[in-house]
């Protein structure tokens, strides 16, 4: 059975073959994108077992997603094909030297119709970690209820709940997002926010204040992502600033946070120290930005170890 289970929507991603406004783009490359499946694939490439729970349309795009994610070694036995709703789509718009824009076509998608009835309690109970993001509860009320029920199942069975806010303001407003995500993170064991996300949810500015607040909720491990500066990782015993890894050129930053989560969770599964978890996560995030696409830059274990080894400081 999978060590880690994730729940969420994966969409078919169309990346432009040239930069500039989409109105002038005539060719696209088809791949896939989904925060939760990205984490699952990142973990499988590091040697861990993962399962993904979702819905896809009973259409060619749904078949494509199942084939690709299954091919990456992720268990898709709990994914349902919905004959009444389509698979969601996503388009990227790339401008040199500017932030990549993303356009979603996911309203009323198959995944937005997920409900608590889609959850198999026995399947979830056999995992070590349940990983969730703030994207799923933003898709619909039934998706939100699914997340809440999954957390209940995990906590009843003593399974660690991992949560990455992964805020998408194209899906809901700031007030609603802060309220819902604040409720979820208070019930998590591992929280992996970006600094701006934590500031929005908690209404605090300073990293140490944020860490103090999160730990006061009973959260066991916190990894506060600080971009190129690395991360501040903490538990009840320690608080450590983990420096980031320098890369020569950022090709595509989208998906770096998911890679980070995969690295951090891999460290936890392997019983590594807090510092080692943070370093593994930073390395995954840095490696991921060197390639285009959400999963294309996710490294294998040997590739990641070589990357980390190449960045070790020489003491003398």
List, for residues 152-205, the tens digit of each pLDDT value. Answer: 999 999 999 999 999 998 889 999 999 999 999 999 999 999 999 999 999 999
Q: Exposure string (b/e) for 27-65, b if CB count within 10 Å is 16 or more?
A: eeeebbbbbbbbbbbbbbbbebbbbbbbbbbbbebbebb
3-state helix, strand, coil in the chain (%, to 5): 40, 20, 40
* CA pair distance 185, 57, nearest whole angstrom: 30
**Which pLDDT does position 253 carry in this prediction?**
64
Count structural domains, the chain: 1
Checking 312-315 for CB contacts under 8 A at 24+ apart, the result is: none
Asked whether the predicted pLDDT for residue 315 surpasses 60, the reply is no
Residue with tokens 């009323």: 108
> Is residue 316 in some structural domain?
no
Q: Are the beta carbons of 7 and 54 closer than 8 angstroms?
A: yes
- Token pair, residue 102, equals 């993303």
> Is residue 315 in some structural domain?
no
**Domain housing 284:** 4-310
pTM over 0.85: yes
- Token pair, residue 168, equals 């998408």
> Is residue 74 in some structural domain?
yes
For the annotated catalytic residues, the residue numbers are: 258
Instruction: Read off the pLDDT of residues 1-58 as tens digits, 9 standing for 90 and up.
Output: 899 999 999 999 999 999 999 999 999 999 999 999 999 999 999 999 999 999 999 9
What is the CATH number for 206? 3.40.1190.20
Which of 279, 276, 308, 68 is CA-nearest to residue 299? 308
Neighbours of 302 (CB within 10 A): 8
**Which pLDDT does position 60 carry in this prediction?**
98
* DSSP state letter for 237: S
């Amino acid at each position: 059975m999978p060590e880690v289970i994730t729940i969420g929507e994966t969409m078919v991603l169309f990346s432009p073959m040239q930069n500039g406004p989409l109105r002038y783009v005539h060719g696209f490359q088809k791949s896939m994108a989904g925060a939760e499946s990205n984490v699952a694939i990142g973990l499988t490439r590091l040697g861990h077992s993962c399962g993904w729970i979702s819905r896809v349309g009973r259409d060619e795009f749904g078949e494509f997603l199942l084939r690709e994610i299954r091919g990456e070694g992720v268990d898709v036995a709990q994914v349902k094909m919905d004959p009444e709703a389509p698979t969601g789509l996503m388009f990227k718009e790339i401008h040199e030297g500017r932030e990549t824009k993303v356009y979603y076509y996911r309203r009323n998608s198959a995944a937005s119709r997920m409900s608590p009835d889609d959850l198999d309690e026995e399947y979830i109970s056999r995992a070590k970690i349940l990983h969730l993001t703030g994207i799923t509860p933003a898709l619909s009320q039934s998706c939100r209820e699914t997340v809440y029920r999954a957390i209940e199942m995990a906590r009843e069975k003593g399974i660690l709940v991992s949560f990455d806010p992964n805020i998408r303001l194209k899906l809901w407003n700031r007030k609603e997002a802060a309220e819902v995500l604040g409720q979820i993170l208070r019930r998590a064991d591992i929280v992996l926010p970006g600094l701006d996300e934590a500031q929005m949810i908690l209404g605090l500015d300073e990293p140490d204040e944020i860490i103090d607040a999160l730990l006061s909720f009973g959260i066991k491990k916190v990894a506060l992502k600080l971009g190129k500066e690395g991360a501040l990782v903490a538990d009840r015993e320690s608080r450590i600033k983990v420096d980031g890894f320098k890369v020569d050129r950022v090709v595509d930053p989208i998906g770096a946070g998911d890679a980070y989560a995969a690295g951090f969770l891999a460290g936890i599964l392997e019983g590594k120290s807090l510092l080692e978890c943070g370093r593994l996560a930073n390395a995954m995030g840095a490696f991921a930005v060197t390639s285009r696409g959400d999963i294309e830059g996710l490294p294998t274990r040997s590739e990641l170890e070589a990357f980390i080894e190449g960045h070790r400081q020489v003491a003398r």
